[in-house]
Amino acid sequence: MAEQTGGLKRFYTLFAVVAVVGVGVIGYLMSQQKRVVIPVDVVVQAADTAGFHGYVLGSDSAPVEITEFADYECPHCGQFAVVTFPDIKARLIDTGRLRWRFRDFPLNGHTASRVAAHSAACASDQGKYWEQNARIFDGQGNWSFDSDPAGKLRDLAKDNGLNLTSYDACMTSAKYAGRIQGDYDLGSRLGVNATPTFLVGGKMYPGGLTADNVKHLVDSLTKQPH
C-alpha cells in the first residue's frame, strides 16, 4: 500500500510539473508577436491610395503648403523631425500660416523604414499618426538598427496609448504596404531621390531646411515681410 501511495505521489508530482511547463510554453507562444513583414515593390492597387493624399497637419485654409518626402530610417530626416520641425510647427503651422503634408519615401536598403512607416499608418487608424511619427523619429537610434524592429515600434505604440490588439492586427496584415509604395512611386515621378526632400510652391528642396529657411519661404510666397 505504501508503494502504491508513493507511486501516486510521484505521478501527481510529475503531472503537476508537466502542467506547469505546458502552461509556460503556451504563455510564451502567446506572448510572441507574429513577425511583421512589409513587402517592397508591391503592385499598387487603386484602393491603396484612394482618398489618401499624405498625412496632413495644419489648417485647410493655410496659404502655403509644404510636402515632405521622408524616410523614417534616414538620420537627416530624424534630425529634422526632432530638432527643426517642432519650431516650424510652433511658428508657422500652429499659427495657421503653413500646412504640412508628410509622405513616405523609404530608401532602398533601409529595411526597417517600411515597417516604421506602417507603424505610423496603423497609428493613424486610431487618430495618433503624428504622435507615433514623433516617437518613431525620436527613438530612431533605438529601433533602426534592430534586425526585427517591430517589437520596439510596438512599444512606442503602447507608449502612445494605442489599442494594441487593433495595432497588432493592422501591422501583421501589412494592409498599408501599397499606400507606402504609392507614396514612394509618387516621389520618384516627381524627381525625389534623397531624403528629406521638400516640395514648396512647385519647387523641390532636397536636403535639410532650417526653421528660418521655411519661414523665409512662407514669407516670400505670401508676400509678407521677413
Q: What is the pLDDT of residues 124-141, one digit of tens each?
A: 999 999 999 999 999 999
Same domain, 148 and 206: yes
Same domain, 186 and 138: yes
**Which residue(s) pair with 99 in the sheet?**
65
Say what the pLDDT of residue 208 is.
82
Question: Residue 21 pLDDT > 60, yes or no?
Answer: no
Containing structural domain, residue 25: 1-32
38 assigned to some structural domain: no
93-99 average pLDDT score: 98
Number of domains in the chain: 2
Q: For residue 129, what is the domain's CATH number?
A: 3.40.30.10
Percent of the chain with pLDDT over 70: 84
In contact, 183 and 103? CB cutoff 8 Å: yes
CA-closest candidate to residue 173, choices 47, 79, 37? 37
Say what the pLDDT of residue 30 is.
40
Q: How many helices (H) and strands (E) does the chain have?
A: 11, 5
Q: How confident is the model at residue 10 (pLDDT cuts 50, 70, 90)?
A: low
Same domain, 27 and 54: no
pTM across the whole model: 0.83
Same domain, 12 and 75: no
In contact, 98 and 218? CB cutoff 8 Å: yes
Say what the pLDDT of residue 109 is.
87
Torsion sign across C-alpha atoms 208, 212, 216, 219: positive
In angstroms, the Cα distances linking 128 to 26, 73, 217 are: 33, 20, 29
